[in-house]
Structure 1
Amino acid sequence: MHVNIKRVPAMVVLLLLWSSKPAFAQYQRTVNDLDSLIQKHPKPVLMVLGTEWCSYCSMQKNIIQKLLQSDTTAANRLYYVPFNAEIKDAVQFLGQTFTYTATGKDKGVHAFARFLNRNAPISYPTLVLLDPKGNVIYRHPGLVTKDQMRIILDHLAGLI
């Protein structure tokens, strides 16, 4: 077998990029991880309720990701959990099980999103802050700007 030496470095770089997780993945958690994380290492939780189709939700996630990537101290002081309010998987949180509820053909909302939103009408994105014990301490429906998010992250740091 003949291997072109000039192509080896490029192939290695592509393989490493393909097989590695993004650097941000270390800061992003899932809902089902929260119970054990909060029990072992209590920290505030920053959640974004959204959907796959919501462009503002994507914008919100990008704002948060960029801020947490640039401020690793803030990223280490909290758990960041984006939550798709239309997932059909059951969610375990604080000893309760939450499931998806269909509201029509190919439409519905997850009971966990309703729980976090205190059964108010849900808008996407909705920012939800939890204290280190898992209690909802703040909700903000709609897009939060980068400057507003910095203030929120600073406030979360004071909860530790």
Structure 2
Amino acid sequence: MLFFRKLMVTLIITLGMCHGAVGQLPATSIHALTDSIRLHPKPGLILISTRWCTYCQLQKAQLKKNKDFQAASPYFYFSELDAETSENITFNGRTYAFQRTGVGTGIHELAYALGNADNRLAFPTWVLIDERFNILLTYPGVLDKKALTELIKKLQE
């Protein structure tokens, strides 16, 4: 009986460790992105999303399965920004805050600052910044596999 318990504990620990390692997005916290880019300059790819956006969840699931995306992570920082977070975020020397748009609703100023091309914000929105925090690309919508592959190739150049 003791042997069986030890075996089960070992199996549970092993499966738990494997589950956490498989399919993880190589993400840098949006809070740490500025320091990361300044310490080790390379482009940043930011996915602006919300918890309720089904297309955002679909995009995240695609990223988890995309081995090319994960393999390319040494060439860029990947970060996610929840457009509805209420936390203050300091990004490139400026602090951004949540802006209420109604009762219990609102959008974060940083989401507007990064992804507000054409005076609108869609979810998901992809933002590519260079090492000097210049916005190189803003793409509202889901990136299909082909477009994501092209983006990864550009980041690796």
Fold shared by both chains (TM-score > 0.5) = yes
Runs of 4+ in 1 over 6 A off after TM superposition: none
Alpha-carbon distance in 2 for matches of 1:151, 1:43: 18
* Structure 2 counterpart of 1:105, from 103, 106, 116: 103
| 1:133 paired to 2:132 | yes
Q: 1:37 to 1:24 in 2, by over 3 A?
A: farther
Q: More displaced, 95-104 or 110-119?
A: 110-119
CA distance in 2: counterparts of 1:24 and 1:146, whole angstroms: 16
In structure 1, the residue corresponding to 2:31 is in which secondary structure? helix
Aligned residue type for 1:50: S
Aligned-partner Cα distance in 1 for 2:15–2:129: 34
Q: What is the percentage of aligned positions where both structures have the same residue?
A: 26
Indicate which of 78, 98, 107 corresponds to 1:80: 78
Superposed counterparts of 1:1-160, under 5 Å: 4-18=2-16, 21-23=20-22, 25=24, 27-67=26-66, 69-70=67-68, 72-118=70-116, 120-158=119-157
The alpha-carbon deviation at position 15 of structure 1 amounts to 3.0
Q: Match for 2:156: what amino acid?
A: A
Greater shift in the superposed pair: 115-124 or 140-149: 115-124
Unaligned runs of 5+ in 1: none
Give 1:97's aligned amino acid.
T
Q: Residue 16 and residue 98 in structure 1: after superposition, are their counterparts in 2 closer, same or farther (change >3 A)?
A: farther
Counterpart contact for 2:115–2:126, Cα < 8 Å: no
| Mapped partners of 2:64, 2:24: distance in 1 | 9
Indicate if the aligned counterparts of 2:25 and 2:64 stay in contact, CA closer than 8 A: no
Letter in 2 for 1:125: P
Deviates more, 1:138-147 or 1:13-22: 13-22
TM-superposed CA distance for 1:103, in Å, is 0.3
How far is the alpha carbon of 1:88 from its aligned partner? 0.2
Question: What per-residue deviation string (whole Å, max 9, x for no partner) do you get for residues 111-157 of structure 1?
Answer: 00000024621110011111122211001111110111010111112
TM-score by length of 2: 0.88
Q: How many residues align?
A: 155
Asked whether the 8 Å contact 2:68–2:149 carries over to 1, the reply is: no
Q: Is the 8 A contact 1:64 1:149 kept in 2?
A: no
Matched to 2:132, the amino acid is K
Aligned-pair CA distance for 1:24: 5.0
Aligned alpha-carbon RMSD (Å) = 2.0
